[in-house]
Structure 1
Amino acid sequence: MEQVLNLLLLRFGLLVGGLVVLALLVFAVALGLRRRGKLGAARRYAAPVARAMSRRLDDRGAARGRGASRGGGSLTGAALRAAARHLDDDGRGQRGRGTGR
C-alpha cells in the first residue's frame, strides 16, 4: 500500500512540476514578445485559435453526453473561452479598440 501511495505522490509531483515549467515557459515567451513589441500580433493570432478550440471541446463534450447541455461545457473549454475573451479584450476591457502596440 505504501508503494502505491509513493507512486501516486511521485506522479502528482511530476505532473505539477511539468505544469510549473510549462507556465514559466509561456511567461518567458510572452515577456519576450512584449519586449520585441509583437505581443499584439500574437494576441490576434491566438484569440481565434482559443475560440475554435473551446468550441471543439464543447462540441466533443456534448456529443459524449456531458457538457454543453447543463454546465456550459467542459472545464477546459471554459478555460479556453476565458482565455479567448481575455485576448479579445486586450486584458484591459478594450474590445475593438486598437492601441497600436
Structure 2
Amino acid sequence: METYLNFMLIRFALIAGGLVVLALLIFAIALTLKRRGRLDEVRRYADPVMRAGLRVAARRLEGGKSGASWSRRQDGRR
C-alpha cells in the first residue's frame, strides 16, 4: 500500500510540475510578444478560435445533461 501511495504522490508531483512549467512558458511567450508589440495581433487571431472552442464546450455540456444526446444532430439523426 505504501508503494502505491508513493507512486501516486510522484505522479501528482510530475503533473503539478508540468503545469507550473507550462504556465511559466505561456507567461514568457506573452511577455516576449508584449515587448515586441505583437500581443494585440496575436489576440486578434486567437479571439475567434477561443470563441469557437467555448461554443463547442457549451454545446457538449448542454447535451451531456440528457445522456447520449450530444452525439446526435439537431434533427435527431446520428
TM (normalized to structure 1)?
0.60
Matched residues, number = 66
Cα displacement (A) at 1:26: 0.4
2:15 counterpart residue number: 15
Amino acid paired to 1:55: R
Q: Name the CA distance, whole Å, in 2 between partners of 1:36 and 1:59.
A: 37
Which is higher, the Rg of structure 1 or of structure 2?
A: 2
Task: Spell out the pairing of 1:54-69 with structure 2 (5 A cutoff).
Answer: 54-65=54-65
Cα displacement (A) at 1:2: 0.8
CA RMSD of aligned residues (A): 1.4
Task: Spell out the pairing of 1:1-101 with structure 2 (5 A cutoff).
Answer: 1-65=1-65
More helix by share: 2
TM (normalized to structure 2)?
0.76
Cα shift readout 1:50-80 (whole Å, capped 9, x = no counterpart): 11111111111222228xxxxxxxxxxxxxx
Q: Which aligned runs of 4 or more in structure 1 are off by greater than 4 angstroms?
A: none
Q: Name the CA distance, whole Å, in 2 between partners of 1:42 and 1:22.
A: 19
Q: Name the CA distance, whole Å, in 1 between partners of 2:48 and 2:62.
A: 21
Q: Name the CA distance, whole Å, in 2 between partners of 1:6 and 1:58.
A: 38
Q: Larger RCO: Structure 1 or Structure 2 (Cα < 8 Å, ≥ 6 residues apart)?
A: 1
Aligned to 2:24, the other structure's residue is in SS state helix
Gaps of 5+ in 1: 67-101
Q: Identity of paired residues, percent?
A: 55
